[in-house]
Structure 1
C-alpha cells in the first residue's frame, strides 16, 4: 500500500468516526453510569488523536529524516554490493551505522521518464564546430608553409646581402656591419698602399665607344680581382683606370704588407705584358704602379652605400709615386724599399730623388722582380 492509499483510508476512517460520533454520544449516560470519571470530552480527544496520527503518518518521512538525522545516501560501490547485502548510511553528524542498527522505514523510489529532447540542433552545432576546427587546421598548415617559404627566402636574401657586403667591404668589417655593430674608424701606423693607372687611358677613351670602354674596363677589373685574391690585400677603390689597394688593413699583418703588395705588383705587370684591347687587338695596354708604406686611417663612409675608405699620408704619397712612375714599372718609396730589403726575396734598383708634396725630396727605387 502506497502513501496515497494509506492516507485515503485514514481520512475515511476519521470521517466515519466523526459521522458516527453523535450516536456514540447518546451512550454517554450509560458510559458515565458504568464508568464514573469518563465524560464525552474523552471521546473528542480520541477523535483529535486519530487525526493527529493520520497527519503524522503523512509526514513520517520528513519527521524521520529530521529527528533521526539520516541522509539517504548509500555508501557502497557496485562491486561491494555484489559481495554483501548490508547497506550503511552516514548520518549528518558524520557517524556511520549499518542498516541492521537503524530502524529505517521502507523507502520507495519512483522514477519518471524524462521528456524527449531534440538533439538535432546540438548535432548541427557540433558539426559546425568540427568544420570550423578543420578550417582552422588547414589555415594553420597554410600559414606554416608560407612562414617556411618566407624564412627560406629571407635566409637566401641575407646570404646574397652578405656576399654583396663582402665585395664592398673587407670580410671582417662586413661581418660586423651585417650584425648591426658600429665599426669605429681606425688609425694604422704602418701599411703599404698600391696605386696604379693605365698609360694613355684618356686617349683610349676618346677613341672608343661607350660599349667598347665598358668591355675594356670589365676585362681589366677581372684581371685585378683574380690576382688580388692570391694575396693578403684588399681592393679599396677603383676610379676609372686607377686602382687603390692596401695590405695590412683592417687586420694588421706585421711587416708582410710590403712584400705582399710587391708580389702583387709584379704579377700585375706580367698580366699586362700580353694584354690586348678587346676592341683593338693590335694595341696593348700598359700600367704604372706606385708603392708606399706609412701611416694612414680607414673607416666606413656612407650608410645607404657603405664604403670602406682609406685616407692619409700613405695614400697621397703612393699617388705621387705612381704619377712619377714609368710604363710597366713599379715605383717604390724608401720606407717600402727598406721593409722589402729586410724581408728579402726581391731585387731593387735606385731610381733617384723625387720631390713630394711636403717639399722634401727622397731617394726612390724601382722594383725589378723576385730574386732567384
Structure 2
C-alpha cells in the first residue's frame, strides 16, 4: 500500500517535471520566434531607412543640378538682356561723334549739358547734287531707292575715317565736320588719343582728301536707266570756330534719340559756300586754304572773287587734285553748263 502510493507520487512528479520542461521549451521557442521576427523587422526597417537615405541623397543631387542649371540660365538671360540693352543704347547713341562713344552711355546720360563745348577750329564740308529734284521726277520709286542706296554707300566710303562726323545727311545733300574727335589707331585695334590728330592743318587736310574721294565716288555712281548721265556733285570746304553739344539727353526713348548738334557762323558759311560752288568742283574757302596750303600734295586754283550778300568779296580756291591719291576724278567736260543748273545759287 505504501509502495503504491510512493510510486504514484513519483509518476505525478515526473509528469509535473515534464510539463514544466515542455512549458519552458514552448516559452523559449516562442521567445526565439519573437526575437527572430524582431530582428527581421529591425533589418527591414534598417533597409527601408537606407533606401530612404539613398533616395534623399539622389534627390539632393538632382536638386543641386537643377539649381545649377537654372542659375546658369538666369545668368545667360541676364547676359542677353544686357546685350539687348547695349544694342538699344548703341542705336540711340550711334549718331554721336566717336569721342563721345568712348564714354559709357550712362556717363553720357549723367553728363547732360557738360557735353557742350566750343571748338576753336574745325573744318566743314558741304555738298549736294545739282538738279536732283528733276532727276527724281524721271525715275521710278524703285530706281530712286536704288540710286539713294548707292549714294549713301559712296558717302560712307569717302567719310569712313572715324574722325569725320556726318552732321546732316539728306537724299541729295550732306554736311560733315572734322576736328571734333581726338582719336587715332594706336595699334592692336585700340583707339588712343594723339596730340597731333586734332591739329587744324591735320583735320583740314583729312577732309580735303575725303572731298576728293567723295567726288570720285559720287560721279562713279550709275543712274538707273540713264547710264551715261553723271551725278553733278558740288562741294565746299571751310574752316572756322563752332559750338557743339548733345541734344535730347533729358528725355531718351526710341522716338527721342539724342543727336549731336553743331552750330555757328562757320556752319552757315559752309552751306552758303556749297550753294555757290559749281558742278564737279570743290570750292575751298580762304580760311581752309590757309590751313592746308603748306601741304604741297594738294593742287589748288584761285577762284574769281565774288560778292557775298553782305557786300564783302569772298576769296576762295578750287581744289583740283592731290598728288599720290589713286582715284578717278571727273573731267570738267562732264560738268553741266550753268544754263542747265536750275537750282544753283539758291541758298
Match of 2:199 in 1: 254
User: How far does the alpha carbon of each residue in 1:69-120 deviate from its partner, in whole angstroms, 9 at most, with x for none?
Assistant: xxxxxxxxxxxxxxxxxxxxxxxxxxxxxxxxxxxxxxxxxxxx99997668
Q: What are the equivalent positions in structure 2 for 1:351-362 lying under 5 Å apart?
A: 351-356=303-308, 360-362=312-314
CA distance in 1, matches of 2:316, 2:223: 32
Residue in structure 2 matched with residue 316 of structure 1 by the alignment: 268
Match of 1:52 in 2: none
* Offset of residue 200 of structure 1: 1.0
Give the alignment's Cα RMSD to 1 decimal: 3.1
Which of 146, 149, 157 in structure 2 is aligned with 1:215?
146
| Structure 1 consecutive aligned stretches of length 4 or more whose deviation exceeds 4 Å | 113-129, 158-167, 355-359
1:346 to 287, 295, 298: 298
Which residue matches 2:238?
292
The DSSP-based 3-state class of the residue aligned with 1:168 is coil
Deviation (angstroms), 1:189: 0.7
1:130 corresponds in structure 2 to 57
Contact 2:234/2:278, CA 8 A, preserved across alignment: yes
TM-score (norm 1): 0.61
Q: Which residue of 1 aligns with 2:103?
A: 176
Max Rg structure: 1
SS in 1 for 2:219: coil
8 Å Cα contact 1:165-1:174 kept in structure 2: no
Partner of 1:42: none
CA contact (8 A) 1:334 1:363 kept: yes
Contact conserved, 1:196 with 1:243, CA < 8 A, in 2?
yes
Q: Count residues in correspondence.
A: 260
TM alignment of 1:1-372, pairs within 5 A: 126=53, 129-130=56-57, 132-154=59-81, 156-157=83-84, 160=87, 164=91, 167-181=94-108, 182=111, 184-230=115-161, 232-251=163-182, 253-255=198-200, 256-302=202-248, 303-304=252-253, 305-356=257-308, 360-371=312-323
Contact 1:317 1:356 (C-alpha < 8 Å) held by counterparts: no
How far apart are residue 336 of structure 1 and its match? 0.8
**Residue 134 of structure 1: how far off its partner (Å):** 3.4
- Cα-to-partner distance string for 1:239-296 (whole Å, 9 max, x where unaligned): 2211111110133611212111111111222223333213432322121011110011
Gap change, CA 1:327 and 1:180, over 3 Å in 2: same
Q: Distance in 2 between matches of 1:370 and 1:318?
A: 22
> Structure 2: how far apart are the matches of 1:147 and 1:330?
57
Give 1:369 deviation, angstroms.
1.9
* Alpha carbons 1:162, 1:174 under 8 Å: kept: no
Q: Name the structure 1 match of 2:11.
A: none
Change (3 A) 1:209 1:136: same
Distance 1:320 1:162, change over 3 A: same
Q: Is the 8 A contact 1:231 1:264 kept in 2?
A: no
Contact 2:163 2:181 in 1 (8 A): no
CA gap of 1:231–1:119, structure 2 versus 1, over 3 A, is closer
Structure 1 pair 273–208 and aligned structure 2 pair: CA distance change class (3 A): closer
- In the alignment, structure 2 segments of 5+ residues that lack a partner are 1-34, 183-196, 325-347
What SS does the aligned partner of 1:283 have?
coil
Shift of 1:177: 4.3
TM-score (structure 2 length as normaliser): 0.65
Deviation string 1:111-170 (CA, Å, 9 cap, x unpaired) is: xx9999766886686466435523421321221331343255346546645764674222
Indicate conservation of the 8 Å contact 2:93/2:258, yes or no.
no
Mark the runs of 5 or more structure 1 residues left unpaired by the alignment.
1-112
